[in-house]
Amino acid sequence: MQPRVGMTQNHQNLSSSPPPRPSPKAWTFAEQALAEQEANHRRRELRSLTPIDTLHICRDGQTLLNFSANDYLGLSKHPQVIARAVDYTQRYGTSATASRLVAGAFTIHEQLETQLASSLGHEATLLFGTGFQANSTVIPALVRNDAKQTLILCDRLVHNSLVKGILASGARFIRFPHNDMVALEQQLQKASGKYQRLMVISETVFSMDGDRADVEALIALANQFGAFLYLDDAHALGVLGPDGMGLAAQRPGVDLLVGTFGKSCGAAGAFVACSAQLRDYLVNFCAGVIYTTALPPGTVGAVSAALDLIPAMAAERQHLATEAQWLRHQLEVLGYGTGGSMSQIVPAIIGSEAETLALASHLETQGYLATAIRPPTVPANTARIRFALSCHHQREHLVGLVAAIASPASAGILQSP
Ligand SMILES: Cc1ncc(COP(=O)(O)O)c(C=O)c1O
């Protein structure tokens, strides 16, 4: 084959000085980075397990009581949820087969969006493959060509997917101290008049702390300063708010809320709830909608069944609240900080990575899955065990857990408390 003219010229230009050969050493970065992680007690590993039932898993031949899952209502094993996932799979197949803008916009996707919108009291909703995908692509779509005129104010502890979205948007951003509405107001005041667009971003229930944002105050501040309010309700959906539909449900002052299906709904995927016009805008400009295969029918079926069940689960929500309160109290009696936890997520904050890992290992020997959460998932010196409760946990389960935490063996592990 004859080289094209451009190629020949390029080749001639380069042939006078041969390009530097890449050094094989440049690719030892993985080894170095992993060794560093190990030295800092931050190395992560994927340890496989097999689910047994709503509460138990099997790992390395041992049955463990699970305190680390986000299946707060146990719906991933609910017969109605499973049945509708199977039914939709049998009727519509295992895949949506394309992006919704191509051939993947099934009627069941639209039906689920309508069901969600009416349960949430928002005009419209739009489905996403995951919460990570929603947050990391919706924020850049909202900012779009106006990065220079936009300032984003986000809570210091927001989830990594929100941080990814903010960074990808190219907008200037400031992180306000966690849940500090006075600081947020001051920052909004300072920014007012300097930017054409202000956006406030927070979670409603914080994923690693289990504490809650003051949604009322966020709405009031956003309203006062004409800011766009973006709330991630992932850990409140199913557990808190009207009919368990989250803390941003039925709140007209929230411009956009993100919810996920991989937690209380016992499935996978996510959605945003917003105005019909904004939904239309995202269909046109959000890469996470345009360039991705739509949610599989089985997942759509599971979520629609979960949404039918959630409003009637008030007793389960009350049980979760009662048991979480009991666990917080017991941990505090043992000397552990539980931060501002006010939900089914109860951290026992330890501080050191090594001690947290040692406690998690000790609990595993006692029959409990209670995963250590370390920086950078949480701030430095706040490594913790994050206990996530299910409505299927009974008091005797928690009594056993607390006894294992309080045992002399774990006291030997920990310098603090
Ligand atoms: C607050 C928050 N937002 C978003 C996500 C991401 O959701 P998904 O697991 O669906 O990607 C998570 C999950 O870890 C989360 O905790």
**The last residue of a domain, from among 276, 311, 346:** 311
The residue whose CA has the least distance to atom 8 of ligand 1 is 131
Mean pLDDT, rounded, for 401-407: 95
Round to whole Å and give the CA distance between 386 and 209. 8
Beta strands, E only, 204-282? 228-232, 256-260, 270-274
Instruction: Assess contact for 157 and 205: CB atoms under 8 A.
Output: no
- pLDDT, position 261: 98
- pLDDT, position 62: 97
CA of 65 to the centre of ligand 1 (A): 23
Options 76, 161, 169, 207, the catalytic residue: 207
Options 78, 122, 178, 235, the catalytic residue: 235
- Structural tokens at position 119: 């349960």
User: Would you say residue 10 lies in a domain?
Assistant: no
DSSP-assigned letter for residue 255: S
DSSP-assigned letter for residue 50: E
CA of 131 to the centre of ligand 1 (A): 5
Nearest to 383 by CA among 411, 413, 352: 352
Mark whether 319 and 204 lie in a shared domain: no
Mark whether 54 and 134 lie in a shared domain: no
Does 263 qualify as catalytic in the annotation? yes
- What does the pLDDT look like over 27-41, one tens digit per residue? 788 898 999 999 998
Q: Which residues contact 22 (CB under 8 A, 6 or more apart)?
A: none
Mark whether 179 and 190 lie in a shared domain: yes
Query: Looking at the predicted structure, is the pLDDT value of residue 6 above 60?
Result: no
What is the band of 417 on the pLDDT scale with cuts at 50, 70, 90?
A: low
Beta strands, E only, 106-242? 124-128, 150-155, 172-176, 197-203, 228-232
Q: Which residues contact 334 (CB under 8 A, 6 or more apart)?
A: 402, 405, 406, 417
Cα separation values, 191 from 153, 196, 202, 220, Å: 10, 10, 18, 17
Query: Looking at the predicted structure, is the pLDDT value of residue 8 above 50?
Result: no
Query: Looking at the predicted structure, is the pLDDT value of residue 297 above 50?
Result: yes
Pocket lining: 203 vs ligand 1, CB cutoff 6 Å? yes
Round to whole Å and give the CA distance between 373 and 67. 13
- pLDDT, position 7: 43
Mark whether 272 and 136 lie in a shared domain: yes
Query: Looking at the predicted structure, is the pLDDT value of residue 403 above 60?
Result: yes
Round to whole Å and give the CA distance between 226 and 138. 20
Q: What is the mean pLDDT of the chain?
A: 94
Quick one: what percent of the chain has pLDDT higher than 90?
89
- What does the pLDDT look like over 68-89, one tens digit per residue? 999 999 999 999 999 999 999 9
Pocket lining: 225 vs ligand 1, CB cutoff 6 Å? no
Round to whole Å and give the CA distance between 230 and 153. 10
Residue 262 CA, closest ligand 1 atom number: 10
Mark whether 185 and 252 lie in a shared domain: yes
- Structural tokens at position 295: 């949610």
What is the band of 13 on the pLDDT scale with cuts at 50, 70, 90?
A: low
Residue 206 CA, closest ligand 1 atom number: 1
Round to whole Å and give the CA distance between 164 and 220. 26
Beta strands, E only, 196-269? 197-203, 228-232, 256-260
Mean pLDDT, rounded, for 97-109: 96
Q: Which residue has the tokens 């927070």?
A: 202
Mark whether 102 and 231 lie in a shared domain: yes
- Please give the torsion angle defined by the CA atoms of residues 393, 308, 209 and 129, in that order, rounded to the nearest 10 degrees: 120
What is the band of 25 on the pLDDT scale with cuts at 50, 70, 90?
A: confident
Q: Which residue has the tokens 């295992």?
A: 94
CA of 378 to the centre of ligand 1 (A): 14
Buried (b) or exposed (e) across 384-398, using 16+ Cβ within 10 A? bbbbbbbbbbeeebb
Q: How many domains, in total, are found in the chain?
A: 2
Please report, for the domain that includes residue 294, its CATH number: 3.40.640.10
Nearest to 319 by CA among 266, 226, 392, 219: 392
Query: Looking at the predicted structure, is the pLDDT value of residue 4 above 50?
Result: no
Pocket lining: 234 vs ligand 1, CB cutoff 6 Å? yes
User: Would you say residue 353 lies in a domain?
Assistant: yes
What is the band of 19 on the pLDDT scale with cuts at 50, 70, 90?
A: confident
Lowest mean pLDDT among 102-106, 129-133, 246-250, 276-280: 102-106
Q: Which residue has the tokens 């306000």?
A: 176
Q: What is the pTM of this model?
A: 0.92
**154 φψ region: left (φ > 0), alpha (ψ -120 to 50), beta (else):** beta
Count CB neighbours of 364 within 10 A: 18
Pocket lining: 232 vs ligand 1, CB cutoff 6 Å? yes
Mean pLDDT, rounded, for 221-243: 98
Ligand 1 mutation pick, 76, 127, 128, 207, max ligand atoms within 8 A of CB? 207
DSSP-assigned letter for residue 102: I
Range of the domain at 371: 43-73+314-413
Options 78, 109, 159, 362, the catalytic residue: 159
What is the band of 103 on the pLDDT scale with cuts at 50, 70, 90?
A: very high
Pocket lining: 343 vs ligand 1, CB cutoff 6 Å? no
Please report, for the domain that includes residue 68, its CATH number: 3.90.1150.10
Mark whether 256 and 397 lie in a shared domain: no
- What does the pLDDT look like over 334-383, one tens digit per residue? 999 999 999 999 999 999 999 999 999 999 999 999 999 999 999 999 99
Mark whether 58 and 189 lie in a shared domain: no
Mark whether 254 and 110 lie in a shared domain: yes
Does 48 qualify as catalytic in the annotation? no
Round to whole Å and give the CA distance between 105 and 96. 8
Higher-pLDDT residue of 15 and 149 is 149
Nearest to 174 by CA among 184, 182, 164, 165: 184
- What does the pLDDT look like over 160-214, one tens digit per residue? 999 999 999 999 999 999 999 999 999 999 999 999 999 999 999 999 999 999 9
Ligand 1 mutation pick, 72, 156, 161, max ligand atoms within 8 A of CB? 161
User: Would you say residue 27 lies in a domain?
Assistant: no
Count CB neighbours of 61 within 10 A: 5
Mark whether 322 and 392 lie in a shared domain: yes
Does 235 qualify as catalytic in the annotation? yes
The residue whose CA has the least distance to atom 5 of ligand 1 is 131
